[in-house]
Structure 1
Amino acid sequence: MVTFLSVHLTLSNARAHIPRQDLGIPVDLLGSWTYQGCYVDVGRTLTEGGYDDVIGMTDEDCIDYCNSLGYVYAGTEYYHECFCGNELAEGAGPAPSTDCNTPCVGDPTETCGGPDRLTLFWSGSSGPQINPGSGLWTFAGCYIEGTTGRILQESPYTPGGIQALTVDICLSTCQDAGYSLAGLEFGQECWCGNSLENGGGIAPDGVAECNMLCPGNLTEYCGGPDHLEMYEYNNALGLPAGTTSSPTVGSGTTTSSTASSAPTASSVGDYTYYGCQTEGTNTRALSAKSYAADSMTLESCQAFCSGYTYFGTEYARECYCGNSFSAGSVPAPQSDCDFACMGDASEICGAGNRLSVYQLGAVAGVAAAPNDPISTPTPATPTPALPNGWSYEGCWVDGVDGRILSYQENNNQALTIESCVDLCLGLGYTIAGLEWSVQCFCGNGVVNGGVLATLQSDCDMPCGGDENEVCGAGQRMSIYSEGPPTIVAPPAPQTTGLPGAWEYQGCLQDNVNGLRTFPYEMQFPSTNDAEVCITACQAYGYKAAGLEYGIQCCKRSSHFGSIYC
C-alpha cells in the first residue's frame, strides 16, 4: 500500500536522552501472551495499529492495548512506541537480542525494542479468520457491492445492535426473515437477500478486502468497505463456496429457458403493457425498487411496484420499479422479451438485459421512439410536519468520498421523514438525511465533499413508512436541517503558525516498495496535528516531521530538501 505524509522540516538539533538500564522482559504477561524475541522492523513489521506514549509506555501496556483491539501480535520499539498486527510483514525476522536495547519510558527495567527493532509478543492465537459458516450456511466469498445499488436489498435490525454484530447473528437474522443470502459489510452492517442485484460480483482479489473485524467478535471478519462477506443458505443459488474466481453475476443468478410462444398480457391491474425495453447504459432502466423470486409473476411484480409509473420484469424472476427510465434504456423488438415467468409459464417476464414493461394508465402497445425522452412525473418536494426551525434542504450526493453525515441509524422499514428528523433532534444533531427508503443519517455538518445533486429529482424513492414521502435514493440523500446545513470543508495541511523555523514541505509518497520514509513513529490518537507532531519531534532532536493516517507522527534525524507531490 502506498501512503502519503504531510512533511515539515526544521534545522533545530536538540536531542533528548533516556539513560540505559539493565533490561529484561516482564515475567507476568496477559493470558497466553508470550515473548517472541527481538525482531527487525522492516519498514513496519506490524502495520495494523498502535500508539505512542512518551511518558508511560511499558510492554504490558502495549500488550493490553493490542489485545483489546483483537490483534495477536504486539511489539514495542524505541522507548515509547507500540505496534499491533495480525501478521508479520514480509522480510521480518529475528535479530540479536542485544539489538533491543532501549528501555521503556514507563519502566526502565523493561526493554522496548531499539532503533528499527521490535520487542515482539504473541497471543498464541492465529488471528482473526473468515467464519466458514454455521448450520446450513456456507461462506461464498468476498463480494463487491453493486454498481448501481445494493447487491443485497434488506438490512434488518440485528439483536444487540451494531456493537454486538457477529457473523452468526447476521446469519440467524437473515434465516429467520426467510432469506437465503446474508452479507456483512463495513464491519458493522448485516444485509439479506434472495439474489445478487445491481451488478455486484465476487471480488477479483479474493478475500483481501473483507478485512474489518466484527465488533461483537474480534476473532472474525465482517466484510469491508464496499465489500460483503457473503454467505449462502443450503446452497440455494449454487454459489461457489469461498472461491476467488469470478462467477458470472449480472442481473440475477438463475438462468431461465425461453418461451417465445407464451402470450404477453395486455394489462395487469391498472397497468397496461408498454413494451419490451433494454436496460440502461451501465445502470438499471428502472432503479427505484426491485426484488427477485422463483415465484415471479406479472401480478406479483405489479403489486410490489404499486404507485410507481412503471414496473418491469426481467430474466424470468426479477421485478423492477421506477418513475422514469435511466439513460440508455430504449425500446427493443418485442421478440427480444421471450422468457416465461418462473411463477406462471403462461406469462412473459422479459429476458436477459430486456424488461417486459407496464405503465400505470398507459395505452397498450404505445412506446416512445428510440431517441425520444421519456416524460414522467417527478416527486414533489415533501412538506412534512417538522420541528420549529427545521426545513428541507434538498437532494444531496452521498458516498463519493464516504458518508456525508457521520451517524447512521439501523435500517427502518417504517421510516418516515418525521421519524428520522425526530431521532436526529433527540440525539442532539442539527441535520437529518434519508436514503434508500429505509436509511436515516444524522450529523452536525455535511462532510466528505457532500454537494447538492445536479438533478433534485434524483431523490425519488418513497419512504418505507409513508409512500407519499420521499426518502432519498441510491447514493442520494434527502436532507433536513435546523437552519442552513453547515458544510465542513475537506481537511488541508497547516502551512502557517508553525513552531519556530519549521516550514511545510508538501505531500510525500510513503511506503514505496514496502519501505517507510521515516523509520520512527509516534501516534496521538486524539490530539494529533502539525503543532503536536512537530513539538514532539523537536523534543527528541529530529529535523523532519510527517503526519499520516490521521494519528501517526513520523520523524527522522537527517535533513530533507523541499518536498512536493
Structure 2
Amino acid sequence: MKGDDGLTVASCLAFCSEYPLFGVEYGRECYCGTTRLASSQLVSDQDCSFSCAGDNAETCGAGNRIEIYTNDAFGTPSTPAGDESDEDCDEEGDDDDDDEAFTYSGCFQDTAERILPKRIIATNDMTPAKCAANCDGYGYFGLQYSSECYCGNAKPKVSLPEAECNMACSGDKTIYCGSGMKLSVYTLPKPAAIPPTNTEYKGCYADHDTRVLPGKTVLSDGMTPDVCAIACAGYNYFGVEYGKECYCGAQLSTASEKVSEEECTMSCGGDDLQICGDKSRLNVYRYTDAVDPTIVEPAVVGDFAYKSCWTDNVADRSLKAASYASDDMSLENCAAFCSGYKYFGVEFATECYCGNEVIGQEAAEVDCSMECKGNSNQWCGSGVRLNLYESTVAAPVVSSSAVVSAVVSSAAVVSSSAAPASSVASSSVSSFVTSTISASSTPVSVAASTSSAAPTETTVVTCPTRPVWLGTPTECWSALPSACNALNTDATLTIAVYGGNAILSCRNAFAPGLDLLPAIAACFPTSYPTQWGAALPPAKPIYDCLMSSTPLCDFSSACVTSTYPIGAAPTSTGTTAVGTNVIQNGGWESGTDGWTLKDNFSNGIGIVKVSNVRSKSGANSLRITDIERNSASWDLLQTIHTEPGATYRASLWWYQTNPAVSCGFGFTWNYAYPKILEGAAYSKAANQWVYISSTFVATKTTAVLDVSFNCNAIYGVSQDISIDDLEIVKIA
C-alpha cells in the first residue's frame, strides 16, 4: 500500500505490478493484493466518487470505499503440481548438480504447535526453491503466509481445499505460498536411511504391547541409529522408536507387522535429520553378520515341565514366594533358583518367580515373546506374561537360606513388567546403564537352593555418551572464546569501521556485563584508543596471557559407580539434569523479576507491560506496546548458568498484532555464542502465537542472555508485540 498526492489508476497499477489485484481509495491511496477478502461487499459505483489526486477525470474510491481492478498483465498464481528442477535451487545459490526435485503435496492446516516444526525461517523473497534449500535433509517443507518456511519429517494430516492456500509467495508472485495458518506442502525425496556400519535396514514396523524386538531397552535423548547399534551389540536386530527409544532382539517377534515407511517419520533426539520411528512405530535394522536363532520352548527343564504362557499382575503376582532379576537369566537359572517349589516362571527377559500356588490364567503363546537375556534361544515371557513351568517332583521342599545376586542391564527393566517401556515412556535414560542387585554390596553366585530373600541394594555404573563437566572450576570455559582467536597474531591490529575493537570483543566474550575474574582482567590493557584506524596495543601478549590464565573446565569420560537402596534414587553427579530450564521467570509470571529491561529510546517508546495474553502457559506474558515510529528496539537481559559441553534448546513464543510492521529479534549470549535463534526480521500473521526454537552447545558456565527486539514501523501505525515462555532447556 502507499499514499500518493499524484495518484492515478495507472500509477497504482505500476506500483502493484507484481500482484493480480489493485485498488484505489480516498483519492490518494493505492492497495495491492492477491485475493479479495471474502467478507467484502460490492456497493454502487456511485459510492466511489472521489477524484484521483493526480487526475481529476478519474475516480479513486471514497472514504472506506475502494475501486478494485484486475491486473491483466499478471498471470494467476499457481501451485506447481510437478517437480521443481535443480535449476530452481541453483538460482538460490546452490550449484550442487545433485540437488533433488520436490513435489507439491497439497494445502494443509497448521496448528500453533507447528505441524512442520524444524528450521523455521521467514524472508521477503520466499519461494518453494528457497524453502526446499532451507529444508534439505527433511522429508517435507511447507510455505505459509507468503514469506514463511517450515520443515519436518511428518506429513501434515488435515488437508484443505486448494483455495485455502491463496497468498502469493513474497519472492515469486506467480506461485502460492499458503495463507494464515495454512501450509502449501511439498515432499522432498528424503535420502534413504543410511544404516550404521555392518547393518542393513529392514523397514518400519508396528510396535505394540508385544514388542517387535523384545530384548534390551535403552532410552536416550541423544538417540540415533548409530547409538542404538552400539547399545544392542550382541543381538541380531535393533530398532529405534519415538525419537529416543532403542530396542534390541535376537529375532523379530512372531507378531511383528511391517507398515508403510510414511508411518516412521519422527526425528531422532540426537539428530534432527535422521528418523527414529514414531509413536508405536519402529525402524528396524539387522546386523549383517547376525545368524537368526531358532527359539524353542523346552518341554522339560530340570525337574520342571512346561505348562503355558501365563498372565501376571504387578499388584498381585501370580507366583509370590520368591523372585530375582538377572542379566544372565535363562530357564535353567530360574529352575535352579526355584528348586523345591512347585512352580517357576520367567518374565520380561530378566525376571524369575517361584511359588507353590499360582493364580492367573493361561494366555496366548504369542504373548510370551521376549528372549531370555542369558539365552536368546529361549523365551522369557513378556510384560505381565510368564512362561510357566510346573514341578514334576511329588513333594517339593523349599530351602530356607541362600543369597541371590543378579545383574540387570537397563534401568528400564529393573521391575517386571508393569507395561513395557513404550512410546509414551515417562522417563528417559541419557546414558547406557548397568546395574547390580545383591543382598550385600559384594555380588555372589546364584546358589543351587535358594530362599525368598529379596535384594536390598543396587549398584549403577553410568558411562556418559560425551565428556561430562565435573563441576570444576565453577567459573570456566570449555575453550578460549572464539572471539579471542583474532589476537593470536604478531600483526598490528587497528580499530575497525564503526569503532570495532578486536581486544574489546575478546574481553566481552568472557563476561559481557559482568566483572572479569582478576587473572583474566589483568591480561587486558586498562584503556583503548577509539579513533577509527588507530593502532591497538600488541595483541599476541594478550592472547598468550589469556591462554595461561583462563580457567578451562575439567571434563571426564570415566564411568561413575554408585550404590543405593532399591527404590531410592541414585546420588547426583553434580551436573544439571536433562530437562532443566536455566532461564528464570521466562513466562513473566513474577512480573519482571530476574530481568533487566532496556528501552533503547529515551522518549519511552515501547512501554513494557505484563498482561494476560498467552493463557495456555499462565496468567502473563511480556508485551511491548505503542510502537508508532520508524524504528524502535529493546533488550531483555538475564545472567544464565549453563553446563559446558551440554546441548540446550532455546525457544520462545512470539505474537504480533500487525504483520505490516516488520519486527525481529536476536537471541544471543552477546559475544559468548553466535546467535542461537534467527535474528532477521520475523514478520508473522497477526494475532497468533508462533513457536520458534533452535539448539546450541554451551561453552562456558556463566553468560548474559541478551534477547533483543526491534521493529521498523510506520509513523502513526500501531503495533504490539508479545513474548512468552522463553526457555533454554538442557536436552543432552
TM-score, normalised by the number of residues in structure 2: 0.36
Larger Rg: 2
Greater relative CO, 1 or 2 (CA 8 Å, sep 6+): 1
